[in-house]
Amino acid sequence: MALIILVIVAVVIGYFLARSRYSDTIDETAEKVSSTSRSWADSAGGWVNTRVLRRKSAEPFQEWAAGPGAEQLPDDFKEWLEGLSDEETTEFIRSLDKYSASLGYSVDKLVEGGYDGKPALMQVFVEAIVIYSQEYRKAREVQQAEAEKDTTEGDEASNSKEDKKPAEKSVSRRKQGASETSESTA
């Protein structure tokens, strides 16, 4: 019973405070708290994206491929990499990072110069990148060809449906049989 009375008193006091001259300061304080919370959430989200989800930016690798790594990479690879859109490059770098991690290498370490003192490891890793990029390109071409094939098949199927004429309605055989038997009996 005491708990119910306490809750009622708290509600009544809250109502009068909301209606009083203090309501504006309470609203301002609440707005400050919510904006601070939003900014903390945004910064935490950025930290999670960069640290945990490892959303890679393609720029460091592109700079490395155009600068220090240019002499080790074949020209066709560099041309292909330059021809990719930002989204395609980022997707390739993410895929390359997963692949290189499975080999025990790191794209970040390569870009930051971690393999500069180890020429044998650097050479093997760069060769792995080149070979992986060739297979990546082939896989993308096949996927695009399949996607184009599916869309053309879908278009052909919709066109063939449009070309078909609806069947003409005919009198049911049952009805024909019934009408013939009724005519013959009459």
Give the integer Cα–Cα distance in Å for 162 and 103: 53
The pTM score is: 0.51
Say if 151 falls within a structural domain. Answer: yes
**Backbone phi and psi for residue 20, each to the nearest 5 degrees, phi listed first:** -85, -175
CA angle 121/122/123 to nearest 5° reads 90
Domain membership flag for residue 152: yes
Note whether residue 47 is domain-resident. Answer: no
Q: Quick one: pLDDT at residue 44?
A: 72
- Res 55: pLDDT: 47
**137 falls within a domain:** yes
Contact 64, 108 (CB under 8 A): no
- d(CA 49, CA 151) in angstroms, rounded, equals 35
User: 91 with 58: CB under 8 angstroms?
Assistant: no
Classify residue 34: in a domain, yes or no.
no
The first and second tokens of residue 112, run together, are 């930051």
DSSP character string of 107-144: HHHHHTTTTTT-HHHHHHHHHHHHHHHHHHHHHHHHHH
Residue 50 in domain: no
Give residue 5's pLDDT: 95
Helix (H, G, I), strand (E, B) or coil at 1: coil
- Residues 169 and 92: their CA atoms lie apart, in Å, by 57
Q: Does residue 76 fall inside a structural domain?
A: yes
8-state DSSP, 164: S
Tell me, yes or no, whether 181 lies in a domain.
Answer: no
Could you give the number of structural domains in the chain? Answer: 1
pLDDT at 43: 72
Residue 129: domain span: 59-158
Encode the chain (186 residues) as per-residue pLDDT tens digits.
889 999 999 999 888 777 777 667 777 887 888 888 887 877 776 666 555 555 456 688 888 888 888 888 888 888 888 888 888 888 888 888 888 888 888 888 888 888 888 888 888 988 999 999 899 889 888 988 888 888 877 666 666 555 555 555 556 566 555 555 555 555
As a whole number of angstroms, the distance between CA 97 and CA 109 comes to 11
